Structure 1
Amino acid sequence: MAPGRIVFLNGTSSSGKSSIARELLHILDDGLFFHMAVDDFNAMRSRRELGAEELDAALRRTRMGFHRSIAAMAEAGNDIVVDHVLSEPWRLLDCLAVLRPEDVLFVGVHCPLDELTRRELARGDRPPGLAAHQYDLVHSHGDYDLECDTSSAGARECAQQIKEFLPRRPTPTAFTRLRRRLLSGSRER
């Protein structure tokens, strides 16, 4: 069985990743895609109060489990749309270590900070300043296969761009290039 394709959307909170993912599920017609979002994994845990150190450890384990769940779904032949925030360097490194780089279309989802702030306030379900905190971190690796800006294009338009680009993924992929650059000297799969 051939491994599944992974459309990996990375951007700050409120950048439009989930909206793009929902649109992709409607328009991608050359396979059966599953939307896997890091927020959904966070929502699965119990709600008891945790101290800062315990919470940090739990969130790290959750994200590591999320990455391995993506890999397992793709390895079983499922096509995946991933919705993630790579706001800590180790998250990208872990994804590079566990995902087959040739199967990943890495998409940068951008939006100007003033618009992110406006969206965050309108949503009301995120801590104020979260997107601003993540803004310089999520794209710091500097390499994507495709990038979109949700301030100038709607979710449907971004999804259409991704759909048209998917069959002509570059070789090597951004994940392959990043793996070579960031994991050189370490053991790769």
Structure 2
Amino acid sequence: MSTSRTSGGLIIFLNGTSSSGKSSIAKELLPILDDTYFHMSVDAFHAMRARKDFTSDELTSVLKHTWMGFHRAVAGMAAGGNNIVVDHVLSEPWRLLDCVALFAPEDVVLVGVHCPLPELEQREQERGDRPPGLAARQIAQVHAHGLYDIECDTSTSSPADCARQIKDFLPRRPTPTAFENLRANPSADQPTR
């Protein structure tokens, strides 16, 4: 049974801070989903970029263009009928606005991936491949829009349990979706101050 309601592919959009467990959930999701899915992560796009030294302004511009290209690649894959698991960090308001404008909102399942800050900080330290404090800088903005189709907490559930929760949710996902609500009410995707 296909989980998509239109001719485009379904986008399972995992949003959470760095080290919240999004990639681990995606890894567990791919083999248990009924249809074929691609895992698309912005980290993979960053890894494709030539390694150069940038000034702060150049780096800001390069990063924004990378995110914009990533969003359009996801939209293109979905428009081609491919199902996608997106691993994302909505740590800047424009990122959500861009995705809401680009993706078919009825074909997006927005998943909030939560984890308490002390656990995030411990994971960052154990990983050693993220700047210390990255999750702390992201946590307030990442979930500021406050609207999800389904949420999970990786401090209380394993990635495999979160993946099963998401899989079990797909056949009964409501209408309108979180993305449909965000598109209909643009003020809802603005952070509260």
Displacement, 1:151? 0.3
Deviations 1:102-128 (A, max 9, x none): 000000000000000000000000000
Q: Secondary structure of the residue that 1:34 maps to in structure 2?
A: strand
> Is 1:55 matched with 2:54?
no
Q: Secondary structure of the residue that 2:112 maps to in structure 1?
A: strand
Deviations 1:46-87 (A, max 9, x none): 001011111111111110110010000001000000000000
Which residue of the partner structure matches residue 152 of structure 1?
A: 156
C-alpha contact (below 8 Å) 1:93/1:183 kept by paired residues: no
- 5+ residue gaps in structure 2? 1-5, 189-193
Which of 11, 14, 17 pairs up with 1:6?
A: 11
2:133 aligned partner, one-letter code: G
- 5+ residue gaps in structure 1? 185-189
1:101 aligned partner, one-letter code: P
Which residue of the partner structure matches residue 187 of structure 1?
A: none
Distance (Å, rounded) in 2 between the aligned partners of 1:11 and 1:70: 17
Identity %: 64
Which residue of the partner structure matches residue 127 of structure 1?
A: 131
Distance (Å, rounded) in 2 between the aligned partners of 1:144 and 1:123: 28
Which of 105, 108, 114 pairs up with 2:109?
A: 105
Q: TM-score, normalised by structure 2?
A: 0.93
Tell me the C-alpha RMSD between the 2 structures: 1.2
Q: Secondary structure of the residue that 1:136 maps to in structure 2?
A: helix
Q: TM-score, normalised by structure 1?
A: 0.95
Which residue of the partner structure matches residue 69 of structure 2?
A: 65
Which residue of the partner structure matches residue 175 of structure 2?
A: 171
Distance (Å, rounded) in 1 between the aligned partners of 2:186 and 2:53: 36
Total equivalences in the alignment? 183
Displacement, 1:169? 1.4
Q: Secondary structure of the residue that 2:174 maps to in structure 1?
A: coil
**Shift >3 Å, 4+ stretches:** none
| Aligned 1:20-99 pairs, distance under 5 A | 20-29=25-34, 31-99=35-103
Distance (Å, rounded) in 2 between the aligned partners of 1:145 and 1:139: 13
